[in-house]
Each structure stands twice: as structure tokens, then as C-alpha cells.
Chain A
Amino acid sequence: MPAILFVAIAAVGFAMLMIRLEVTQEGYRLSSLASDIATLQDQNRNLRLKAAELSSHQRLSDLAPRYGLAAPAPGSVVVMP
């Protein structure tokens, strides 16, 4: 009887140890994923900023003449009622 009790306690202890180890491993993985998410979000923000800067009014107005583009002359755009 004492032997069975000892084995049971040892088994539970071992299981708890393994669970704790697994939790720690998952903790590392979560930490790494959270870091990846933050990095990707920052990259996304930087890309949005880049896109906004590239499509800014000032830049497009400066580029337009190079491509032969100009604002439509008065009367050349007719909005239908």
C-alpha cells in the first residue's frame, strides 16, 4: 500500500513538472509571437506612412507635369445633374 502511494505521488509530481515545463515552453512561444505581431504591425504602419507620403497632393502635383498631366481646363468637365 505505501509503495502504491509513493508511486502515485511520484507520478503526479512528474506530471506536474512536465506541465510546468510545457507551460514555460508555450510562454516562450507566445512571447515570440507577440513580438512578431508587434513587428508586423509596426511594419504595416510604416508602409501605410510610405504609401501616404507617395500619394500626397504635393508630390503628385510636382510629378504630374513630368507625365504630361494637368488640371482640366475650365469647362472641360461637365457634371450631369
Chain B
Amino acid sequence: MNAAFQKRRARIGVLTLVLASLLIIVVLRLVVLVVFDGPRLNSLALSEHSDEVELAAVRGPIVDRNGAPLALSAETQSVYARPRELLAASTVAQRAELAATLDMPPVELENLVHGPAPFVWLRRRLSPDRAHEAEALGLEGVGALSEYKRFYPESNLAASVVGLAGMDGQGLSGIELQYDRLIRGEPVKLRIYHDALGHPILDSPLALQNAEPGGRVELTIDSGIQALAESRLVDEVRESGAHAGSAIVLDPFSGEVLALANVGSGAADVHDRLHDQAVQDAYEPGSTMKGLLASIALTDRVVNTSQQFFCENGAYRLGRITIHDDSPHGWLGLGDIIEVSSNICAAKIALMLGSERYYSGLTAFGIGRRTGIDLPGEADGLLRKPSAWRQIDLADHGFGQGVAVTPMQLAVAYSAIANGGMITRPYVVRAVYDADGTQVLSHTPQILRRAIPPDVAHQMNLLLREVVNGAQGTAHRAQVADFIVAGKTGTAQMVNPANGTYFQNRHVSSFIGFLPADDPRLLILVVLYDVGHAHFGGLVAAPVFSEIATGAVRKLDIAAPRPAGYDAASVIPLDALHSAEAILSSGTTADAAEAPPFSADAGAVPDFNGLSLRRSLALGHGRALDLDVHGSGYVIAQDPPAGGKLNQPTVKLMLAFDPSAPVLAPLSSTEGPRAHRSHRGHR
């Protein structure tokens, strides 16, 4: 009994031990499964009934100052293949049909699907219709995914400003690169649950989140002015045989860039999205530098407007180098030097200034340093330290040789002359708004420093008008009907990189000016690179300036300023204005072929009072009169007086901008306006 009981008890004990051991093993296994393998098993379970998807963010639009879109993103479809599945389930003929649908050679498709990759893109960024056609073929292993593609609806308008976004939606150049962080938006990674058939189930309203779209970038560019600048520049590059051209239209007070055009001469690079010549490349400015030189010399009181300089009658020997003028000049005032663009007298003024003062003045204008414009890759230009300047370097720098500026630097420097002396930071982006319309970035005009005092800016404003309106001025073709233009031409020889000398027959021709001169609203720079010998700034760049300015004042509704005592009855009919155009462009004096219809009394002296030079020319032309013009602006006096008997074919006119203001630099020459003159060196 005892033995049996003991035996049974021992069995129960063993069984209990076995069961307890098993239980411990189960518990230990449970601990291993939960604690150690838990995360891995959990993720395996999740992968069975859930997916993590990335919702791509759509890039924000780029629009001009009026809201016209310049860059937009839209949905496209990209067709992919899983080669193993496709090859197993299709014939060569079916794949050829797929290739035809995707508009690709069958050989290319075969090469792609016979590669080692388990997943290949067949065609990316297709229109949704085309992708659906491919899917409709029903081939196993072929599918399509949505992707966003960047479109530029205005084609190549403002291409170098807007820039380029890559295939994967990243900014590569221009605004697309500079503001990529704001334009790109934020993609969202989302875990969704799906049923056995793969249909997504949103199990919580919290899961209803979308990728944050990119911001809307509003530019300062006016696409109308931009289109005009580009089209005129393309024409002029073609006609002049230039290698390339750039044009900048700025608001001189705010620094807003209204247009920034770069065009090339080759078919492939007419509009380059990756390169912005006006900001990233520097060139020797030539005579446009004389405007800055005169401003600095006036600021430092080294010269004054009544001072006379001897221009050496066309040749000035400085050491072993001889500086030439286009045509010989004797004694000239500062205004005449700017007007006729004398290299010799500019060199003399630079020598009077000295290296340190000239360098300091140029740096105040921003030469040799970036303007700070919000575009990538801006160049510094080239301005060596004055300690490295020899005497001949200083003289050369006076008329823009040996110094290199970007077109944007020059535009900003001349803006200071136009706006009363302040250097402003130029900008092309006015504001950025997020998807909700909240402004996340805005640019307002930013004054960086004063370059010249207001009185010097005013003096320069008056002097630069003579370049366009004066009898000996080099830029009559820059005139704009009804507006007074102030500006300066530049024709600089290009440097031969092979030997460091200047090419004799390759030039950079430019014109920079602003209008209305009394209240500047627009500053426009036109640069044509690598033009032939006969293409001076006043001949090739000035007309482009005039056309861009004419369109821009119309586009911006800038009213033409009227002189005091303006009489609406003196408005000249259009055909008379066209006659004036012809006179200005041909460089000849009046032709008595036809009289304008406003002629009241052909035998009496007409009334020129209050008329601009252009209108005076038109009126004189209609009456077959020669005009002896003094000063610039509007007619304040005439001889013989209006209404008198016409005994002589020449009428003497005195012009001024304000009847109370003294006439600057009275003209000594009686020759009429000329379209162009022979040239040598810079002007």
C-alpha cells in the first residue's frame, strides 16, 4: 500500500515537474516572442495588411507680378515594368505594341526589360491619357504611377530667371534653385491599412492628411515687358550679328527687377535656363563707366560742371601708351566730355581723382562686389585693389577698361544716379505665399548705402540727358517719344583671352538710361556682346532701349510729363511724329517733301514754345526749316518769334527743362542731331 502510494506520488511529482517545465518553456517562449521578437513580428504583421506610401508634394507655381504663371506643376503618369513578370506573361509582339503605345523603339524596351533590375521605368512624365492606353493593354507586370512634372507655360519667357527644376522635382537653377526650399513643399509619409484586395481603408480621419504643396512665388518681373525685351533683343542680336545680348529693366527707386532678359545667337542657347549672363558674367563696361567717373569726381569736388578740360585733339600719350578719342576734341566741359564720350578727358579726370579716391567711389557704387540680388551664382565682377593700379591702369579704368562689371552691377550703380544717390538691393521675388495663401516671405525695397549726394545725382541726371538729346550726343536713337531720357552709351573692345590684348573688331556695345528723367520710373540697360566694329552702343543698343522703354511706359501707364504752359492744341499728329523719327534715324536735317496737316499759315514762323526737341524737329520738318538748337528739354525761346514773317530758313531755338533753370553746357555747334559718327576706342 505504502509502496504503491509512494510510486503513484512519485509519478504525480514527475508529471507535475514535466508540466511545470512545459509551462516554464511556454512562458519563456512567450517572453521571447513578445519581448525579443515582438517588434520584428509586429512589423511583419503590419506589412501584411498595411503599406507606407509617400505622398509627393507638388511644387508651387512661379508667377509674374500680375499673377501670370511662368512655372506650374501638373500630374503626369510614369509607366514602369517588373521585367520578370512581364517577360513571363507576354510575347515579343505584345511588348512591341506596348513600345509603340509608349512611343519608344521596341529594341529599347527589350533592352530595358532584359536587364538585371527587378523594376524599371519605361517612360516617365507621360500624359495621363498615354499612360492609361499602356495600362489598357493589360500586360502583367506593367503599371503606372502618378508623378508631378514641371511645365513652363510661357515657354522660354524669363527662362534664365525662372530657371529649371529637375526630373525629381529639385531646383537646378534660377528661382527654382534659389527658393527651392519654399517651392518644393513637404512630402508626407503615410501608413495606410488595406483589405485583402489591397484597397486602402482610412481608419481614422486623422489619416486624411495630404502632402504640403510648395509655396507660390510671386516675381517682380512683368511678363509683358519681359516678352518685349526678349523679342527686341532676339531681333537685334540677329541683325547686329552679336554673340548674345542682355537687357535689364529696373525700378531705380525700389530695386524691383521688371525684366531680365538673356538671349544667345545659337539656336540651342537662344534661351538658356541654366545660365544668367546678366548676373553671372562680367564684362568691361567701356564708356558707360564715364557716368560713374563723373559722379565720383563731382562728389569729391575734384571737378565742377563749369570747368574746362583739354582733350588733346584726339591723341594723348601716357608713358608708352597712347589713348585715342573717336574724333579730336579741344577744350570741353564735363557735360561735353560725357556727351561726346571723350576717352582722353575721362582718363585725365581719373588721374586727377587718383587711385584711392576712384576705387573708393567705385566700391560705393557697388563695382567689384555682388549686388545681393536673390538669384544664384552672382559674380563679383573685377575691380583690383588700387595698390595694384599703375598710372595707365587708372587712366584706363576712367573709360571702363580693365574693370569688369556684371550688367546687374551697372544697372544698380546707375539706379543710384537716377534715384538721388542711393544704392538699393535689386530683387526678383516680391513675395512667397504658402498653400493657404499666408505670406511666408516678402521683399521690400532695401537701401544699402549712399553712393553720391543728391545734388551730384541731379547734376549727373542733367548731364546724361545731353547724351541722348544734345546735338553731339552719342545716343539719339535712345529717345522715347514724349519722354526725356538720360543715359550713356558704351562700346568696349573685348579682351582676347589668348594674349590679354584687346580685339580691334570685337566689341561689347551697350546703352544704359532712365526715364522720365525728371522723375525716373524705369532704368534700362541693354548689352550686346561680341558685335562687329561698326556696331556702337548708340547704334545697336540705344534703339533696343528706346523700343523697350516705349513699350514699358505704355505697359505701366506712365504718363508723359508735360512742360509748364503745355497747350493741348499743340499736339502733333502721328504722321508728323513719324517724320521726326525718320529725321532722327537718318541723321539728316529737315526735308521739305511734305507739310504736316496742322500748318495754319505757311508764311508765318510757327510757334515752337513749349515743344520738345522731337516735336520741334517735326514741326521744322513740316515747314522745311533748319533749326539751330541750343540746350535740351523744351523750347523756352525762339528767334524769329512765333507769328513773325518767315524771312530766313533757320530758326534759332533755346531749350531748357525748366524756364527758370539755367541752360547747362550751351552748345557751340550748330549742327543738327546725328545718328552716328565714326568711332575709335570707347564711347
Residues of chain A having any CB pair with chain B under 8 Å = 23-24, 27-28, 30-31, 34, 38, 42, 45-46, 48-49, 52-53, 55-58, 61, 71-81
Contacts and interface: CB of A to CB of B under 8 A. Distances in A.
Given A42-B74, A56-B153, A57-B157, A27 B574 contact: no
Given A34-B208, A49-B151, A79-B554, A57 B481 contact: no
Max chain A C-beta neighbours (<10 A), residue from B157, B199, B202, B551 = B202
Contact of A52 (B72, B224, B550, B554): B72
Nearest to B61: A48
A68 B258 CA distance: 29
B515 interface: no
Given A27-B203, A34-B208, A58-B155, A79 B560 contact: yes
Interface string B182-203: 0000000000000000011111
B153 A52 contact: yes
Nearest to B562: A81
Contact of B223 (A27, A57, A61): A57
A30 B202 contact: yes
A53 B577 CA distance: 37
Contacts of A74: 481, 550, 574, 577-578, 581
B75 interface: yes
A71 B205 CA distance: 55
B574 A56 contact: no
A48 to B, nearest CB: 6
Interface residues of B, number: 41
Nearest to B72: A49
17 contacts: A30-B202, A34-B202, A45-B72, A45-B75, A49-B69, A55-B68, A57-B223, A57-B224, A58-B155, A58-B157, A61-B231, A71-B551, A75-B574, A75-B577, A79-B554, A81-B560, A81-B561
A24 to B, nearest CB: 6
Contact of A31 (B75, B202, B223): B202
B129 to A, nearest CB: 11
B269 interface: no
Given A57-B227, A58-B157, A72-B554, 17 more contacts: A24-B203, A31-B201, A31-B202, A38-B210, A45-B74, A48-B72, A56-B153, A56-B154, A56-B157, A57-B154, A74-B550, A74-B578, A74-B581, A76-B574, A77-B554, A78-B560, A81-B560
Contact of B74 (A24, A38, A49): A49
Contacts of A77: 554
Contacts of A48: 69, 72, 74
Interface string B120-161: 000000000000000000000000001000010111010000
Contacts of B157: 56-58
B558 interface: yes
Interface string B214-225: 000000000110
Most chain A CB neighbours (cut-off 10 Å) among B153, B199, B577:
B153
Contact of B153 (A28, A53, A61, A75): A53
What does DSSP make chain A's interface, helix, strand, loop or mixed?
helix
B632 to A, nearest CB: 21
Nearest to B578: A74
Please indicate which of the listed interface residues A28, A58, A75 has the most CB atoms of chain B within 10 Å of its own CB: A75
B75 A42 contact: yes
Nearest to A76: B574
A74 B618 CA distance: 14
Interface of B: 58, 68-69, 72-75, 146, 151, 153-155, 157, 199-203, 205, 208, 210, 223-224, 227, 231, 481-482, 550-551, 553-554, 557-562, 574, 577-578, 581
A77 B555 CA distance: 10
Contacts of A27: 201-203
A71 B550 CA distance: 12
A59 B481 CA distance: 29
A34 B207 CA distance: 10
A31 B199 contact: yes
Contacts of A80: 559
Interface centre among B151, B199, B481 (most CB of A within 10 A): B151
A72 B203 CA distance: 62
Contacts of B69: 48-49, 52
Contacts of B73: 45
A35 B551 CA distance: 47
Contacts of B578: 74
Max chain B C-beta neighbours (<10 A), residue from A46, A57, A73, A81: A57
Nearest to B556: A79
Given A45-B73, A45-B74, A81-B559, A30 B154 contact: no
Nearest to A52: B153
A81 to B, nearest CB: 4
B150 to A, nearest CB: 10
B225 to A, nearest CB: 11
Contacts of B231: 61
Q: Which of B72, B231, B551, B558 has the most CB of A within 10 A?
A: B72
A73 B560 contact: no
A22 B73 CA distance: 38
Nearest to B194: A31
A28 B201 contact: yes
Contacts of A55: 68
Nearest to A79: B559
B154 A52 contact: yes
Nearest to B55: A38
B215 to A, nearest CB: 15
Contacts of A61: 227, 231
B615 to A, nearest CB: 11
B565 to A, nearest CB: 15
A75 B615 CA distance: 12
A34 B210 CA distance: 9
Nearest to B149: A49
A46 B148 CA distance: 11
A60 B550 CA distance: 20
A72 B581 CA distance: 16
A28 B70 CA distance: 39
Nearest to A39: B75
B208 A30 contact: yes
